Structure 1
């Protein structure tokens, strides 16, 4: 299933819709302005919060945490021992590790589990700069989790570029 994201990550507090292949609103990324740390909520089309994405404030490396129903689900951080700058790791609380690699700032990367692709993120099909697709490759995969991972990784890479 492909999802179309028209991100507005530059503006603080902006909300934006993620559409499905049919052009219907599938998820809302709700930015929470005026918070001490960067916080986003991923909501379904009815407004139900599916995941909360939070910047981890006291961390040696940039880290974002994902929560589902108030409970920790995963942490996202740049991979420590990687030759590639655009290499991130997602550690789920159940011990599962996802690998994110590619050209993050160009919106050309993939999310893998044990070298098997779960999602491909690309904007090569779109002319608009802030638009990219998240193609969830497996029907059993948690689309909301993979979309949240893509949003986190892009947000972290953008912040890292701004501070460099």
Structure 2
């Protein structure tokens, strides 16, 4: 399933709808301005908080934590750069995903490390609007979690660029 995400959603304090491929409002990304750390809430159409995405305040490397019901379900962090920039997603339960590609240009893929299965493809290639990109979530994956990982990767890539 393909979802459209607006870049402006990543400005602190901004709210933005994530739309499905039919243009329906599927999820609300709520940027929390009055928090100590960078924080977003991913809500369903009724306003229920599904996941919280927050920048870890104390960490050796910049890390975003994705929480569900108060517990961490994923940690997203930059992998050691050898040839190109990568982000690692450590999931609760030990599974790992790796994001590789052009993060600032929004052309990258997320793959499961254990078998190389594509989790999602993030692209702005087919869109005319500059401030929008798509997250194409592969079948069988937790859609809100994949969208939250894309939000975290984008936030970390922007922070890396600003350093």
TM-score band by shorter chain is over 0.9
Q: CA deviation at 1:83?
A: 2.2
SS of the aligned residue for 1:34 comes to coil
Matched residue SS, 2:8: coil
Structure 2 unaligned residues grouped into runs of 5+: none
Mapped partners of 1:2, 1:120: distance in 2: 9
Deviation at 1:10, TM superposition (A): 5.5
Aligned length: 161
Residues 26-45 of structure 1 deviation map (CA, whole Å, 9 limit, x = unaligned): 00110000211001000111
| 1:25-80: CA deviation from partner (whole Å, max 9, x where unpaired) | 00011000021100100011111111000100111111000100111111000012
| Residue 120 (structure 2) aligns with | 119
After superposition, the Cα gap between the structure-2 partners of 1:118 and 1:71, relative to the gap in structure 1 and judged at 3 Å, is: same
**Are 2:153 and 1:129 aligned?**
no
1:109 alignment partner in structure 2: 108
State the match for 1:20 in structure 2.
20
CA contact (8 A) 1:121 1:133 kept: yes
Alignment of 1:47-66 (within 5 A): 47-66=47-66
Task: Determine helix, strand or coil for the equivalent of 1:151.
Answer: helix
Q: Deviations over 1:76-133 (max 9, x none)?
A: 0001254212x00000120000111110100000111131111100000112221001
Normalised by the size of structure 1, how large is the TM-score? 0.94
Structure-2 separation of matches of 1:10 and 1:152 = 10
Structure 1 partner of 2:92: 93
Q: Does residue 76 of structure 2 align to residue 76 of structure 1?
A: yes
Taking structure 2 as the reference length, the TM-score comes to 0.95
